[in-house]
Amino acid sequence: MMAMENKTADATLESLHRIFTVPEAPDSTLSMIEQEISQNLNQFLNTHIASREKALADIEQDFCSAEIPEHPTFVSDHTQFLLNKLVAQSVHTSAPSFIGHMTSALPYFLMPLSKIMIGLNQNLVKIETSKAFTPLERQVLGMMHNLIYNEKNGFYQQWMHSADHSLGAFCSGGTIANITALWVARNNVLKAEGDFKGIAQEGLFRAMKHYGYDDLAIFVSERGHYSLKKAADVLGIGRENLIAISTDENNRISLPALNDAILKAKANNIQPLAIIGVAGTTETGNIDPLDELATIAEQHGCHFHVDAAWGGATLMSNRYRHLLSGIERADSVTIDAHKQLYIPMGAGMVLFKNPALMSAVEHHAEYILRKGAKDLGSHTLEGSRSGMSMLLFSALNIISRPGYELLINNSIHNAEYFANLIQDSPDFELVSAPELCLLTYRYVPQRTQAALALANDEQKAQLLDVLDKLTISIQKHQRESGRSFVSRTRIHSVQWQRENITVFRVVLANPLTTSDILKNVLMEQQELARQSRHLPLILSLTEQILD
Ligand SMILES: *Cc1c(COP(=O)(O)O)cnc(C)c1O
């Protein structure tokens, strides 16, 4: 137990009481941290996160004991351990040169506000433990619903706080949001009818017998997020029945291929469960043609879900929201607030166009979640849940829609700048141009680019193989040196008619990322390429081809 400073660290009931009130002597290490964090979060992170990375195996050495301590530790001692062993080896996701992932910097005010949230410790599953937080969360869902669907005629006054309806669900992230959307879609396709009490009551096996389907299928482009596979798995649909539709040269779902796949399924007595459009794919950031997808879904009477976990925040921008047009026709939409809305991890949402749709998953229990009550838990997959929606509520108020628009527009502007920089650098190749603020590229020496265009199949394959190795090696060394970070992925290359090539992936969300930082990222990569043991082979293959 965390005994107090200046006392022996012993676990008496008296000292246990104290940890639920206030410490007698202010705890020095904790106070220092609180002060540093509230005065200058970035400085705190810069000071305490080591710039050089330790090998994971070495870090594991600090976390390898399975013994639950038999003796209490002073808070200060323990905090010091955290600073040295945990914070020091953490990833500096808020650094302006950390441009590899969707996880980015946070506004400073969320730190103290999250303390209020944790201090209050409300449980959003039921009103009895979240009297004010439940209306707040319903309002947040209403605001996000409005952002997507912009319903009129008193729609929000009517449904926002209605006991038997739900505009959506707040959850821990895009994965749960996607599962929830498909759960609702599944239960509506296999709903009660005649003597059949519905899949929620009778299960998938009897539902399939009742409806006489041989199978169910979900359609999404091959760029769909892996969380959809998890959803297909847990909902009993099966990963194989998540049908991956091919994409065009812009990484968008091919509509003819989608139509063919749906017709083929129907001809085989396979019931389409949902069509999913991706608004901002994880690997290339592209947006499917949502309006056309909505029309196809309508024609087949099929649930239309849009996975806008990452890209949905673009709706905040009046300049760019047209890129997602058609999203307002979706039956359900996933948006993560912990991506481009700058909220800490654990803030996902699913919104439903029709406030009655979620009744397909409604669940009641006697001691809580009584029928007709307004408990959020009757419609959520998760049970006990924190008041995370408060942080989104605060950020929406403090930053406001135009503030978010500035952030979104700035990110897109930065991505365009970086794309131009790549295109102007002879030894780099832009692989996927940014539609939003995500792009992919790789290092290919200028002469090698010329050689690739002339190479025969065998030479090309050989060259692309070494280029993959070079990309991997540059990315690893850049990460290890700790100055900047880009991620890497493998994507289908239309240009080189190749199954997959390895590329750098950049997500530009941090408003503090400057053009100098972006220039330095390329310079560092150029330097790492020169030092790489793969480069000589690439250059000699290049000269063989060009000779
Ligand atoms: C991030 C993401 C998800 C998964 O969301 P989590 O919050 O990580 O669970 C799903 N789909 C897309 C398109 C995403 O970008």
pLDDT tens, residue by residue, 246-259: 999 899 999 999 99
Band of residue 19 on the pLDDT scale cut at 50, 70, 90: confident
Task: Calculate how far, in angstroms, residue 295's C-alpha sits from the geometric centre of ligand 1.
Answer: 25
Taking the CB of residue 476, how many other CB atoms lie within 10 A of it? 12
| Ligand 1 atom with least separation from CA of 225 | 11
Query: Tens digits of per-residue pLDDT, 419-433?
Result: 999 999 999 999 999
Chain mean pLDDT for the chain: 93
CA of 345 from ligand 1 middle (Å) equals: 11
DSSP string for 14-36: HHHHHHTS--SSPPHHHHHHHHH
Q: How many angstroms does the Cα of residue 299 sit away from the middle of ligand 1?
A: 28
Q: Token digits for 467?
A: 């280029």
> Which residue has a Cα nearest atom 5 of ligand 1?
174
Least confident segment among 117-126, 274-283, 306-315, 488-497: 488-497
253 bridge partner residues: 247
Ligand 1, atom 3, residue with closest C-alpha: 174
- In this prediction, residue 6 carries a pLDDT of 44
- Judge contact between 96 and 512, C-beta under 8 A: yes
Nearest CA to ligand 1 atom 14: 309
CB-side exposure of 225: number of CA atoms within 13 Å?
A: 27
Mutation choice for ligand 1 from 170, 182, 225, CB with most ligand atoms inside 8 A = 225
pLDDT of residue 367: 62
Residue 122: half-sphere exposure toward Cβ, Cα within 13 Å? 24
pLDDT above 50 (res 4): no
Give the strands of the sheet with 270-278, arranged side by side. Answer: 168-171, 348-352, 332-336, 303-307, 270-278, 215-221, 242-245
Ligand 1 centroid to 15 CA: how many Å?
A: 43
Q: What does the block give as tokens for 534?
A: 């793969």
Task: Evaluate if residue 36 carries a pLDDT over 80.
Answer: yes
Alpha-carbon gap, residue 521 to 71, rounded angstroms: 48
Instruction: Name residues whose C-beta falls within 8 Å of residue 181's C-beta, 6 or more positions apart in sequence.
Output: 274, 305, 332, 333, 334, 350, 352
- Which stretch of DSSP H or E encloses residue 304? strand 303-307
- Pocket around ligand 1: residues whose beta carbon is below 6 Å from it? 173-175, 178, 225, 227, 278, 282, 307, 309-310, 336, 348
Of ligand 1's listed atoms, the one at least distance from the Cα of 178 is 10
Residue with tokens 């009551």: 201
Q: Cα(342) to centroid of ligand 1, in Å?
A: 14
| 273 burial via Cβ count (<10 Å: 0-12, 13-18, 19+) | buried
Say if strands 428-432 and 270-278 run parallel, antiparallel, or are unpaired.
unpaired
- Mode of pairing for the β-strands spanning 215-221 and 270-278: parallel
- What own/partner pairs with CB < 8 Å and gap ≥ 24 does 200-203 have? 200/360, 200/361
- Confidence band for 240, pLDDT divided at 50, 70 and 90: very high
Q: How far apart are CA 207 and CA 273, in angstroms?
A: 13
Nearest C-alpha neighbor of 430 from the set 477, 420, 281: 420
| Radius of gyration in angstroms for the set of CA atoms belonging to the chain, rounded to a whole number | 26
Burial (CB < 10 A; 0-12, 13-18, 19+), residue 63, is: exposed
Residue 80 in tokens: 């010091």
pLDDT reading at 467 higher than 70: yes
Query: How far is the centre of ligand 1, averaged over its atoms, from the C-alpha of 281 (Å)?
Result: 9
- Min mean pLDDT across 40-49, 150-159, 265-274, 522-531 is at 40-49
DSSP 218: E
Residue 1 tokens read as 């137990």
Question: Please, are residues 163 and 374 in contact by the beta-carbon 8 Å criterion?
Answer: yes
Which amino acid would we find at residue 186?
R
CA of 546 to the centre of ligand 1 (A): 44
pLDDT above 90 covers a percentage of the chain that reads 82
pLDDT tens for residues 178-235? Answer: 999 999 999 999 999 999 999 999 999 999 999 999 999 999 999 999 999 999 999 9
Identify the residue whose C-alpha is closest to ligand 1 atom 10.
174
d(CA 352, CA 303): 11
Q: Which atom of ligand 1 is nearest to the CA of 278?
A: 13
Tell me the two tokens of residue 115: 């303390």
Ranking 269-283, 449-463, 483-497 by mean pLDDT, the lowest is: 483-497
Ligand 1 pocket, mutate which of 234, 310, 333, 343 (most atoms under 8 A from CB) = 310
Q: What is the mean pLDDT of residues 289-312?
A: 97
Atom of ligand 1 nearest to the CA of 281: 13
Q: What is the pLDDT of residue 26?
A: 67
- Per-residue b/e over 191-208, b at no fewer than 16 CB within 10 Å? ebeeebebbbebeeeebb
User: Which pLDDT score is estimated for 5?
Assistant: 47
Q: What's the per-residue H, E or C state across 315-347? A: HHCCCCHHHHCCHHHCCEEEEECCCCCCCCCCC
Q: What is the pLDDT of residue 146?
A: 98
Contact 16, 87 (CB under 8 A): no
> Which mutation among 336, 339, 507 tests ligand 1's pocket best, with the greatest number of atoms within 8 A of CB?
336
Cα(330) to centroid of ligand 1, in Å? 18
Distance from the CA of 284 to the center of ligand 1, in angstroms? 13
Regarding predicted confidence, which is higher, 371 or 93?
93
Q: How far is the CA of 176 from the centre of ligand 1 (A)?
A: 9
Tell me how crowded residue 144 is: count the other CB atoms within 10 A of its CB: 25
Mean pLDDT for the stretch of residues 158-184: 96
Report how far ligand 1's centroid is from the alpha carbon of 354 (Å).
23
What's the whole-model pTM score? 0.94
Nearest atom of ligand 1 to the alpha carbon of 338 = 7
